[in-house]
Amino acid sequence: MSRHHRIAAIPGDGIGKEVMPEALRTLEAAQRRFGFRLDVTPIAWASCDYHAQHGQMMPDDWKAQLQGQDAILFGAVGWPATVPDHVSLWGSLLKFRREFDQYINLRPVRLFEGVPCPLAGRKAGDIDYVVVRENTEGEYTNLGGVMYPGTEREIVIQETVMSRFGADRVLRYAYELARSRPRRHLTVATKSNGIAISMPWWDGRADAVGADFPEVTVDKQHIDILSARFVMQPGRFDVVVASNLFGDILSDLGPATTGTIGLAPSANLNPERRFPSLFEPVHGSAPDIYGRNIANPVAMVWSAALMLDFLGEREAHDAIVRAIEQVLREGPHTPDLGGQATTTSLGEALAQRVAG
């Protein structure tokens, strides 16, 4: 694998513009220490500032501009004071996810030492799993409609679509991920008791794909009790795979149990690498704190580490995660964790530890 990677850096809006420089700072340090090379193309579009000047979120040739990149590092998009959220989101991020067929949405969930846990009595190590969400089909479709609107006979239908192609590829990814982790355990989110056509079929696909992974243990859990266990017994989980809707909910609930949203990273992957994959913090542009240099950069920096892992730079990924562990344990801390450090000083502390 080449150790020269081309990436597009898109800060977007609000605190995206404050945390992105800290991710780039850490990546600089990682390059120097581990000897790979990043060709970074900074991109100012996919932002509400661009929209103010051009009346759209991105240039018409956005796809051609990004197509040749190995990955996209993304901050956050949204500035509701000037552009409605559905316009900014559908005009940028959702186009990337769909047109680049980023069918895996990956969210690691981990409780770190030094971070207060909203669940009583949990310590670092008790929560450590990954949610794998199907990102292109399932419950989120535009198939359906309203009949007899505004009358007593009003009817609404919205279809769920699951394909063998779409289900198998996300299940296979989840099994492979589980196989690569020490516990080798996969939880399949289902609701085959209530959603009696598509979900038994989904469970069947999980069995069929699982035939190739005898070393992975599997349990299927209905989404309602599974959600309860994220709170009550988080230690049961290693890799969790879910349809688009269930995964959407689980991938917010999981990180919420581990402290501040300022820590949670995510990856939107096209594992075949036909298109660039996208790495971004879970949080948004946080207009309420923008401009004060107090946003926590850890989610952004961890997302950059996930990007390096995907690009084959495993050692650099591990070094960044270790730096995050150390800084969360020893400080400095940003205000969301009760400290007084700035975004910049936390970023510098992380980069320094990565530099070794």
Interacting residues with Mg ion (CB under 5 A): 248
Long-range contacts from 210-216, C-beta under 8 angstroms, 24+ separation = 210/171, 210/175, 210/186, 212/172, 212/175, 213/175, 213/176, 213/178, 213/179, 215/179, 215/184, 216/175, 216/178, 216/179, 216/184, 216/185, 216/186
> What is the Cα–Cα distance from 98 to 283, expressed in whole angstroms?
20
What residue type is 63 in one-letter code?
K
- Residue length, the chain? 356
| Among 221, 270, 296, 342, interactor with ligand NAI by CB under 6 A | 296
Bridge-partner residues for 131, per DSSP?
107, 240
Q: How far is the CB of 283 from ligand NAI (least distance, A)?
A: 3
| Among 115, 218, 289, 351, interactor with ligand NAI by CB under 6 A | 289
- Which residue number, 186 or 307, has a Cβ lying nearer to ligand NAI? 307
Map the footprint of ligand NAI across residues 18-47, applying CB under 6 A. Answer: none
Q: Does residue number 355 form part of the binding site for ligand NAI (CB under 6 A)?
A: no
Whose CB is nearest to Mg ion? 248
Of the ranges 178-186, 235-243, 244-252, 285-293, which one interacts with ligand NAI (CB under 6 A)? 285-293
Radius of gyration in angstroms for the set of CA atoms belonging to the chain, rounded to a whole number: 21
Going by their DSSP bridges, the two strands 239-242 and 185-190 should be labelled as: parallel
Q: How far is the CB of 150 from Mg ion (least distance, A)?
A: 31
Q: How far is the CB of 80 from ligand NAI (least distance, A)?
A: 5
| Among 135, 336, 341, 342, interactor with ligand NAI by CB under 6 A | 336
Joined together, the tokens standing for residue 256 give 């919420």
User: Which of Mg ion, ligand NAI, none does 166 bind, CB closer than 5 to 8 A by kind?
Assistant: none
Q: Which residues bind ligand NAI (CB under 6 A)?
A: 15, 76-78, 80, 85, 89, 93, 261-262, 280, 283-289, 295-296, 299, 336
